[in-house]
Amino acid sequence: MNKARLAAMVVVWWGAPLWANLLTNPGFEDGPLGQIKEVPIPGWLTWNTDGWHHSDPGCTIDAKAVMLWSSNSGIYQDFAVTAGRTYRFSGYMHHKASDPLRGGDKTGQLRAEWYSASNSMLREDVIGIITKDDLTNTWLYRSTDLIAPPNAVTGRFLIRMYSTSGDGVVNYDNASVVPVNSPDYNADFHVDYDDFRQLAAAWLQSNIQYDLNDDSLIDIQDLKLFAQDWMSWLEPSGAQAVSVDPSTVFQEIDGFGASLTDSSAWLLYEFLNPDERQAVLTDLFDPEEGIGLSYLRQPMGSSDLRLQEYSYDDLPYGVTTDYMLTYFSIAYDEQYIVPTLQEIVAVNPNVKLMGSPWSPPVWMKTSGQIGWGSLKSSVYPTYSNYFVKYIQAYAAHGLAIDAITLQNEPYYEPGSYAGCRMEPADQVKLVKEMGPAFAAAGISTKILVWDHNWDNTAFPLAVLADAQARAYIDGVAWHHYGGDVSAQSTVHDAYPDKNVYFTEGSDGTWNDGGFDNDLIRNGTFMIATLRNWAKTVVKWNLALDENNGPKIAGGCDTCYGVVTVNRSTRAVTPRPHYYALGHAAKFLRPGARRIASDTATIQTVAFRNTDGSMVLYAVNPAGSSDHIKIQWNGQRVFSLVPARSIMTFCWPNAANAKVEVYLTTGDQNSLIERRPALYFHN
């Protein structure tokens, strides 16, 4: 390999480019000063623009810059592109110190758009943003390499302000676009046979993407230059290093999923026809054809997402107690909940089930109703046998219950739907009855305590402090509606032999920030939860309709399902947390273990499957793309991680391993899309 040629090429690619800027006036140095809508800058078009072409001291890089402040306004410039060619967009932004961004959601943005010959927009990419949290009077440089999509003939570089509220000023300078001239045609940081095939396909044609010597013809001279870099690997400057260390092992992963509530099961089994249901279940649970969900937390009786109130021991009129559980029955579940679960397990036999009660039967409660109240002191042995019968009844249908929690949200006592108050002493007492009852019945189902928010570590610690009860307890279950995820580690560190389960976290209208924000929120939540010892990550409803039901009154009317089933159009639409779950569930198998990995701007969590293969889950929450350098087993591989995206990297435990790459972007241009493979190298 010609080292001089490689060094020169790296300078061209990653340093000062030799190509002239494509933009007519990248630095805003031409044209008169003044208000842009009255005196436009040469080569730039405007919209809704109350901005200035100015020369304020301290607010320019060279002699002139652009200042914008109006919401949803800006300037832009178009340039011709070649589909498949890589272009580098870059520019600078900073707050005006005397009038910084403040309040509301106002941001400054650098943005790229791509258009077809018919002027239809094919894609848009955020290159960089500046918000009220960034420093004033500090120039922020943003640069992103983007590949022009298929059928693109025009690129557009936009400099804009965006907001629905707030005020403030942003300056912009030195915006430019240059083509990237490199033999790494498929942008995988390897010059190899895949690149040669692309070069050969363009032989004796005029195509700037493959023209390494700038003579407008693909010929032997380009092939000679290409050959000098054959089998070389190019390291992008500033790539974030992420070391994956399989020798440092943490918790085993049980699975990822949601809850097949009464509402979800009815929608899937009663509303959809068999073919529609099979398609949805395959998409949700098949790891090859779908996202491979593998864990379901099932309400034991009614929750708030239900079509009627019920338990497994509802008594006929005139009967007030049932200590022998004579009237125990799961007949309600057998209508459509159990059949749906059986179909799910047929799609993915590795799916595990957890049972969680929202309320005991009303005759066991101090309130005598489905809401309010707590367990009567006399029913603890009977209630333990209630769990035994539930596990046995489901087993008779071929459905094994992997774990149970004693009570959903024991410190929340609703009146409009099922609920039950429990104190730590109540759970200790119940565990001491339930543990021996399970053992006597030959049941290996795990027992979990708490099953409520991160904002209370005292409750599970108090339960675990009882040594007799602790012997029967497998771990602690958590929700995310209050507190911080570090609570999981606090309790785990106090009792390292007890497992951590995340069992409920809903998306809904209250945290709906649009697809982009919800994707990143769920992705970073997944990483934080897993890095704090969770064996499971279970969202709330598996499927709900366009009205967040069907359900009777009481409880959550604003919760979203993992998928939305529109009962008017029959369309099934995944929500953002579908993709956040899928980027993990699709690639992890039973028995996978979390292993060590670095995390910084690009957040990561890593795993080793039982076959030795590795999985790295990565989230880039930033408004600009970044490069990642994955270091493993003395080798490395590079990848561009787009702005506002989730990526999964999977590779076998072998030298020079082939890395499969999957991508979901906040702009929805990629949705668990399989990307070109990468290869580890020394």
DSSP state string for 171-207: EEEEEEEEE---S-TTSSSB-SHHHHHHHHHTTTS--
Domains and CATH numbers, the chain: 20-179 (2.60.120.260), 240-249+594-679 (2.60.40.1180), 254-587 (3.20.20.80)
CA nearest neighbour of 189 among 651, 647, 675, 640: 640
Angle of helix 576-585 relative to helix 514-531, nearest 10 degrees, comes to 40
The answer to whether the Cα torsion of 618, 620, 625, 627 is positive or negative is: negative
pLDDT at position 40 is 85
The two beta strands, 86-95 and 255-259, are unpaired
pLDDT at position 21 is 64
- If one counts every other C-beta atom within 10 angstroms of the C-beta of residue 120, the result is 9
pLDDT at position 1 is 32
Residue with tokens 């949805």: 280
As a whole number of angstroms, the distance between CA 260 and CA 564 comes to: 13
Q: What is the CA radius of gyration of the chain?
A: 29
- The tokens describing 203, both together, are 């032989």
pLDDT tens digit string along 320-374? 999 999 999 999 999 999 999 999 999 999 999 999 999 999 999 999 999 999 9
Q: What are the Cα distances from residue 12, in Å, to 179, 181, 214, 217, 645? A: 10, 7, 13, 20, 27
- The tokens describing 435, both together, are 């543990």
pLDDT at position 244 is 98
- The tokens describing 547, both together, are 């009205």
Query: Are 485 and 454 spatial neighbours (Cβ–Cβ below 8 Å)?
Result: yes
pLDDT tens digit string along 228-246? 778 777 777 678 999 999 9
pLDDT at position 316 is 97
| SS3 (DSSP) at 162 | strand
- Beta bridge partners of residue 559, listed in sequence order: 508
Q: What is the largest CA-CA distance in the chain?
A: 96
As a whole number of angstroms, the distance between CA 345 and CA 433 comes to: 31
As a whole number of angstroms, the distance between CA 305 and CA 550 comes to: 8
Low-confidence spans in the chain with pLDDT less than 50: 1-20
pLDDT at position 237 is 67
pLDDT at position 240 is 92
pLDDT at position 676 is 79
Q: What is the 3-class SS of 546-614, one letter each residue?
A: CCCCCCCCCCCCCECCCEEECCCCCCEEECHHHHHHHHHHCCCCCCCEEEEECCCCCEEEEEECCCCCE
